[in-house]
Chains A and B, each alone.
Chain A
């Protein structure tokens, strides 16, 4: 699978631009602020219908305009697919496949897999459990439609239950029978989703271990453990028993929205005990394992976007990563770098078509 070309209209700093990409390596070079990452974000939009950087669509429109359009021709399993994304302020976001509008964005997600390695990925380690849940949920949603439907349903009922708890708190009275429909849904949803998360981590974790030791050339053992209460035998009772706590705290305190994925190194949390270098290797391992899982499940190699990583990684890690590139482990690759000479130097010895794009603001 690869992206043949990309057209941007009023997207971020691009009033109008067009790029023809190589199916192998594409290197976007230019000074800071020239719009390298914005191109990666445009590709992210076409694949996942949203920005990788910030949530609001309106922020991606060029200043002074009220809409943007992105157009890209993909080739997927020998067939061409034209994807167009139109965002106009005050209107519903539109996504068209070969000129045909897609009603539900969720139908598009998962069709064009993509993996982005970006400088702020270490957030996955440093920030709270919400970022990690989002990372794993986003992968699961792209691989498993039922997971996505269940998750949407779960989140809806969670919102309703929290609203109900607030109503109860205002009245100062807890009505168990009214809570029961929501308890039932959340308990059942938690069990299904937690089982799927567990199965996914079991499959994903060995890949991470492999890639970590490859990238870092180090022997310390790393692991991911999925922490949840939802798979315990007495989860039903525990969920209902937490009612009084829920009442005091005015929110639901049990369920998969409380899960965490704990990243460990040598048996200790990497957040507290990992060096900066170990953390960087770990997040690259996470992303490469993501690439591998997508490839295995979807039978296509995802697009790989490497945002500014030459700046953040030391030579040893870069050369390991480039070994993978030279082995053709990846499909189409997009790399951004502020220093063209460095990229040229790094990519010189690689036997693959490599196209450079010089961007000026």
Chain B
């Protein structure tokens, strides 16, 4: 792509580094900003700068925190402090929060174990999870990691690590999505849902 000005080119290059944004969209955004008042761009860039500079991560669960060292979920008195839900990354916290079904705390690992990509337990917040569980009154850990081979490996590793602490470790169920038809479900998922079926007669 050829640009009429060096300045536009630089802006486009930077904006198109964001995920999901190609050169054309980046150009549209850049030209849009040029049409707006200068203050719009100033506000945008100062918001971005503040985001980057002032953001804090919760020292307990590694979720984002607005200020201080602890996030709003960990601070809340209404949350059940006996349950910890382990997730891969921050968007997963939002996804589970939106279900409205979970009142416990979280633990954000920051990834899953994948030696091919050079990610081992030391690159993740696994040690801090173990310490949290060893510390005070945690009764159950729910593993809500992706249903991939790497997610399963990580789940298995964590469950082994937690074994000696005598805490209940569970994993979220894998199976048919609500409203889904059996005939359109892939065989692996359907097979797994049969293996981990729910016993109705005991309820």
User: A residues near B, CB below 8 A?
Assistant: 149, 153, 156-157, 159-161, 163-164, 166-167, 177-178, 180-182, 184-185
Instruction: Report chain B residues within 8 Å CB of A182.
Output: 153
Do the beta carbons of A178 and B120 come within 8 Å of each other? yes
| B149→A163 contact, CB < 8 A | no
The digit string for B146-161, where 1 denotes a CB below 8 A from any CB of A, is 0001101100110011
Binds A, one of B26-34, B39-47, B63-71, B111-119: B111-119
Query: Is A164's CB under 8 angstroms from B115's CB?
Result: yes
A153 touches B149 (CB 8 A): yes
A-B pairs with beta carbons under 8 Å apart, 19 shown: A149-B188, A153-B149, A156-B149, A159-B116, A160-B114, A160-B149, A160-B150, A161-B115, A163-B116, A163-B118, A164-B115, A166-B115, A167-B115, A178-B120, A180-B157, A181-B153, A181-B157, A184-B156, A185-B153
Given contact pairs A160-B150, A160-B153, A167-B118, a sample of 11 additional A-B residue pairs in the complex whose CB atoms are under 8 Å apart: A149-B188, A153-B149, A157-B149, A163-B115, A163-B118, A166-B115, A177-B161, A180-B157, A180-B160, A182-B153, A184-B156
B121 within 8 A of A: yes
Cβ-closest chain B residue relative to A160: B115
Contact present for B156 and A164 (CB under 8 Å):
no
Write out the residue numbers on chain A whose beta carbons fall within 8 Å of the beta carbon of B149: 153, 156-157, 160, 185
Q: Closest CB-CB distance, B139 to chain A, in whole Å?
A: 24
Cβ-defined contact, A164 with B157, below 8 A: no
Interface size class for chain B?
A: 10 to 19
Give the secondary structure class of B's interface.
Answer: helix
Determine chain A's interface SS by DSSP, over half rule: helix
Query: When chains A and B are docked, how far (Å) is the Cα of A163 from the Cα of B156?
Result: 18
- CB distance B120 to A164 under 8 Å? yes
Most chain A C-beta atoms within 10 Å of own C-beta, residue among B113, B153, B188:
B153
A153 to B157, CA, bound (A): 18
CA distance A181 to B121 in the complex (A): 13
Q: How far is the CA of A196 from the CA of B103 in the complex (A)?
A: 47
A181–B156 contact, CB under 8 A? yes
Which A residues are CB-close (under 8 A) to B121? 178
Per-residue CB contact flags for chain B residues 111-155 toward chain A (1 = under 8 Å, else 0) read 001111010110000000000000000000000000001101100
B116 touches A177 (CB 8 A): no
* Cβ-defined partner of A160 (8 Å) among B116, B156, B160: B116
With the chains together, A184 CA to B156 CA distance in Å?
A: 10
Complex Cα–Cα for A159 and B120 (A): 14
Cα A149 to Cα B115 in complex, Å, equals 22
Q: Which residues of A contact B115 (CB under 8 A)?
A: 160-161, 163-164, 166-167
A177 to B157, Cβ gap below 8 A? yes
Interface centre among A161, A167, A178 (most CB of B within 10 A): A178
Residues from chain A with a CB closer than 8 A to the CB of B113 are 178, 181
Q: How far is the CB of B161 from chain A (nearest CB, A)?
A: 7
> Of residues B116, B118, B157, which shows the largest number of chain A Cβ atoms within 10 Å of its Cβ?
B116
Q: Which residues of B contact A181 (CB under 8 A)?
A: 113, 152-153, 156-157, 160
User: How far, in angstroms, from A276 to B64 measured CA to CA in the complex?
Assistant: 71
CA distance A149 to B150 in the complex (A): 16
B187 to chain A, nearest CB (A): 8
Minimum C-beta distance from B184 to chain A (A): 13
**How far is A181 from B114 in the complex, measured between Cα atoms in Å?**
12
Q: Judge whether B120 and A167 touch: CB under 8 Å.
A: yes
The CA of A153 and the CA of B150, in the complex, are separated in Å by: 11
Distance in Å from the Cβ of A283 to the closest Cβ of chain B?
Answer: 35
Kindly state the separation between the CA atoms of A160 and B119 in the bound complex, as whole angstroms. Answer: 11
Query: Once the chains are docked, how many angstroms separate the CA of A177 from the CA of B121?
Result: 11
Give every chain B residue within 8 A of A159 (Cβ-Cβ): 116
In the docked arrangement, what's the CA distance between A178 and B116, Å? 14
CB distance from B67 to the nearest CB of A (A): 36
> Is A177 within 8 A of B120, CB to CB?
no
The complex places the Cα of A181 from the Cα of B160 at a distance, in Å, of 9
Q: How far is the CA of A160 from the CA of B118 in the complex (A)?
A: 10
Q: Please name all residues of chain B whose beta carbon is closer than 8 Å to the beta carbon of A161 when the two chains form the complex.
A: 115
Question: A160: which B residues are within 8 A, CB to CB?
Answer: 114-116, 149-150, 153
Interface centre among B149, B152, B188 (most CB of A within 10 A): B149
Q: Within the complex, what minimum Cβ distance (angstroms) separates A146 from chain B?
A: 9
